[in-house]
Amino acid sequence: KVKVPTVDGAVMLTVAPGSSSGKTLRLKGKGMSRKDGSRGDQLVTLEIHLPESDEDLIRRLEGWQDTRPLRAKLGV
């Protein structure tokens, strides 16, 4: 979930796993008011930035070893 600013204040938007930059999502009823009093939709275009590296994760993976027997790893 990410915080997205709207005309009424910030809302939390759920971003689906595997989403990529450039994808446009719609916040229904969170846009500008129309002449008839109803609300339009707000469009949000994703801009995803991944960290260049995660030192803590790298250290954990370097020290990790799978201790299961080979047959279990292969599902045999």
Which tens digit of pLDDT belongs to each residue from 3-56?
A: 999 999 999 999 998 899 999 999 999 999 999 999 999 999 999 887 777 887
Model pLDDT, residue 73: 60
Question: Bigger pLDDT: 73 or 41?
Answer: 41
Amino acid in position 50: L
List C-alpha distances in Å: 62 to 9, 25, 55, 65, 74. Answer: 43, 38, 11, 8, 22
Quote the pTM value. 0.61
